[in-house]
Amino acid sequence: MRRVIPWLGGVGLLLAGYVAGSWQAFEPQSLWAQGAADTTPDLSTDAQTKIRAAADALRSAADALINDQRLTPATKGLNTFAILSGGRNVVEDLENGAIVDPETYAALYADLAVDQVAVHLGRDENNRLTYKGKVIRIYPVKFLMDRYRSRSELTGEEFSPSPVNSARSKSSPKDSDEE
C-alpha cells in the first residue's frame, strides 16, 4: 500500500496539470506594445488654427516647388523635411539607390506611398521594406546635415549640434557617414 500512495499522488498531479492546461486558465494574455492611438489630440482652438495655417502655407510652398520641378514626393501628404529644405525628387532618390529622407522613410513604412511607388514596394527576408528589391534606407548623416543647413538658410532657423552628440562624435572612431 505504501508504494501505491506515491504513484497515486504522481498520477493526481499529472491529471491536475492536464486539466489546468486544457482549461487554459493560465494562458498568457495578449499584450500590445502600444495602446490605441488617440486620433483627437487635446489642443486649444488657437493651436489648431495655427497648425491649419501652417499646413496651408506648407501646401502652397509644396505647390510652388512642384511647379519649379524641385519637388517630386513619393508619399501622400506633405513632406515637411523636403519642403523646408528646398525640395527633393524623392522618387528619383528611390530609383537611384532607395535612400530617402526620414519623413519619407516613415511614411513609406506607414503605407502612405503614392500609387506609382507603392507598386514597387515589397519586403525582404528580414521584413525590411524594399523598393524594386533594394532595401530602403535613410540618407547618410552628412547629407542630412547638408539638408538641415539648406533648411536653416531658407527658414532662418538656427540649428546647432547638441553638445552631447558633438563630443561623442569627436571621440568616436566611427565614420560619420554611417547610418
- Asked whether residue 105 is assigned to any structural domain, the reply reads yes
pLDDT of residue 176: 46
Q: Is the pTM of this model over 0.75?
A: no
Burial of 85 (0-12, 13-18, 19+ CB in 10 A): buried
The count of structural domains within the chain is 1
Greatest distance between any 2 Cα atoms in the chain: 96
Average pLDDT over residues 3-14: 80
pLDDT of residue 2: 72
22-36: pLDDT as tens digits: 776 666 666 566 666
- Asked whether residue 15 is assigned to any structural domain, the reply reads no
78-121: pLDDT as tens digits: 999 999 999 999 999 999 988 899 999 999 999 999 999 999 99
- Asked whether residue 115 is assigned to any structural domain, the reply reads yes
Confidence of residue 157 (pLDDT cuts 50, 70, 90): confident
pLDDT of residue 27: 64
- Asked whether residue 78 is assigned to any structural domain, the reply reads yes
- Asked whether residue 72 is assigned to any structural domain, the reply reads yes
Burial of 24 (0-12, 13-18, 19+ CB in 10 A): exposed
116-132: pLDDT as tens digits: 999 999 999 999 999 99
- Asked whether residue 56 is assigned to any structural domain, the reply reads yes
Confidence of residue 179 (pLDDT cuts 50, 70, 90): very low
- Asked whether residue 39 is assigned to any structural domain, the reply reads no
Confidence of residue 165 (pLDDT cuts 50, 70, 90): low
51-78: pLDDT as tens digits: 999 999 999 999 999 999 999 999 999 9
- Asked whether residue 80 is assigned to any structural domain, the reply reads yes
Burial of 86 (0-12, 13-18, 19+ CB in 10 A): middle
pLDDT of residue 131: 95
Does position 40 have pLDDT exceeding 90, yes or no?
no
What letter does residue 41 receive in the DSSP assignment?
A: -
And the C-alpha cell for 37?
492611438
And the C-alpha cell for 59?
501646401
Range of the domain at 67: 49-152
